[in-house]
Amino acid sequence: MAERRKQTRYETEEFLMVFDRHTSRHIGGLANLTYDGAMFVTQEPVKKLSIAHCRVELPNKVLDRDHLIFDAECVWCRKDATRGWYESGYRLKNVSEQDRNILTYVMLKLMSEQPATQKASELY
């Protein structure tokens, strides 16, 4: 698959847990972020164009919050045959100004920068 990402991706050391903010159902793990997108790792496949209402649990408080909230639209999903899980890419939507600030802090302080041209398959 050709790399189409234009922004720098920030990778987590350990997956940050993602939950549905309305039902508290565990969605999966946040693997990486850009300012406009994210990749989750899930046990089940995710339907393309579905919307996830996300609450990401943070390891410590940022701007007096222990979580990050946004909506995410699935743009792709594929199975990682070697690990048995699914990777899915999302476009972030409805990110408040406060959550945008938290997202920026999380990327710059809690994650490792990866070049925009590096393929996800090289990371996992």
Sorted by where each starts, the structural domains of the chain and their CATH numbers stand as: 9-112 (2.40.10.220)
Q: Kindly report the average pLDDT of the chain as a whole number.
A: 85
CB atoms within 10 A of CB 20: 13
- Report the alpha-carbon distance of residue 57 to residue 102 in Å, rounded: 12
How far is residue 9's CA from residue 64's CA, in Å, rounded to a whole number? 25
Please report which helix (H) or strand (E) contains residue 12, including its range: strand 9-20
b/e string for 98-116 if b means 16 or more Cβ within 10 A? ebeebbeebbeebbeebee
Give tens-digit pLDDT for 50-109.
999 999 999 889 999 999 999 999 999 999 988 889 999 999 999 999 999 999 988 888
* The predicted structure's pLDDT at residue 10: 80
Model pTM score? 0.81
Higher pLDDT, 63 or 8: 63
- The end-to-end CA distance of the chain, in Å, is 15
Task: Quote the CA–CA distance of 99 and 118 in Å, as a whole number.
Answer: 26
How many helices (H) and strands (E) are present in the chain, helices listed first?
Answer: 2, 7
Phi, psi of 78 (to 5 degrees): -145, 155
Bigger pLDDT: 40 or 120?
A: 40
Query: For residues 99 and 69, what is the distance between their CA atoms, to the nearest angstrom?
Result: 6
